Amino acid sequence: MKIALIDYGAGNLHSAAKALMRALDETGQRGEVFMGADPDVIATADRIVLPGDGAFRDCRENLAIVSGLEAALDHAVRGKGRPFLGICVGMQLLATRGLERGITAGLGWIPGDVVRLAPADPALKVPHMGWNTLAMTSGHPVLDGISLGPQGLHAYFLHSYHLIPEGTGNLIATAEYGGPVSAIVGRDTVIGTQFHPEKSQVLGVKLLANFLKWAP
């Protein structure tokens, strides 16, 4: 299996690469992780992963200035149907637009806006940083075999914004932080996690392994 881990100057690539290799071992598959932004690598990849850290606008601008990257991603994912995983801001970039430091157009793969967290409890600080369980809102293969709910496995979050999809069909799981927080979104061959699976220990490895086995 050929996994393209996109390097556009906005993500913790080495941690993500190690987690993906561990997930390959978990599934018994042979494969390799290619870090970079070569359109030819993306075009021939079996799976594509887009990490992201920092502000939405900065990540969006970084993505846009890499020659040929956005077109290669669009063709591979929406044209050829390659399974895609966005992580943290990489998930947020799937939205129609981000509302951090003004309005910035996203990729538009999952209709919705990226908005600042607004916990109902004023004692809860933003950014949201720490471990949370997940509640499933819509079944998806990436959650197969993962213990969810209040007594389930925990995912690691570090963010101030989250993607609110239009309608409920593209929202797969939420976390609780003074109200529901979008934890996983998805549509067609695209999936995104607001949390960091590469830092989420057992839950993260299981989710990545499911992503690598997923055949949409």
Asked if residue 168 has pLDDT above 90, the reply is no
Q: For the chain, percent helix, then strand, then coil, each to nearest 5? A: 30, 30, 40
CA 163 – CA 56 distance, rounded (Å): 11
Is 0.85 surpassed by the pTM of this model?
Answer: yes
Across the range 190-212, mean pLDDT stands at 97
For residue range 51-110, what is the model confidence (pLDDT) as tens digits?
Answer: 999 999 999 999 999 999 999 999 999 999 999 999 999 999 999 999 998 999 999 999
Phi, psi of 90 (to 5 degrees): -60, -30
Residue 92's nearest CA partner among 187, 165, 153 is 165
Phi, psi of 154 (to 5 degrees): -105, 150
CA 80 – CA 109 distance, rounded (Å): 14
For residue range 105-138, what is the model confidence (pLDDT) as tens digits?
Answer: 999 999 999 999 999 999 999 999 999 999 999 9
CA 134 – CA 214 distance, rounded (Å): 20
Helix residue ranges, H only, 45-175 = 56-65, 69-74, 89-92
Q: Which one is predicted more confidently, 154 or 101?
A: 154
Helix residue ranges, H only, 120-170 = none
- Residue 139, C-beta contacts closer than 8 angstroms, at least 6 positions apart: none
Partnered with residue 157 across adjacent β-strands are 130
C-alpha Rg value of the chain to the nearest Å: 16
Whole-number average pLDDT of the chain: 96
How far is residue 194 from each of residues 51, 93, 139, measured CA to CA in Å?
10, 11, 17
- The first and second tokens of residue 151, run together, are 């007594």
Catalytic residue list = 88, 196, 198
Whether 198 contacts 204, CB under 8 Å: yes
Q: What angle do CA 173, 85, 211 make, to 5 degrees?
A: 80
Asked if residue 142 has pLDDT above 90, the reply is yes
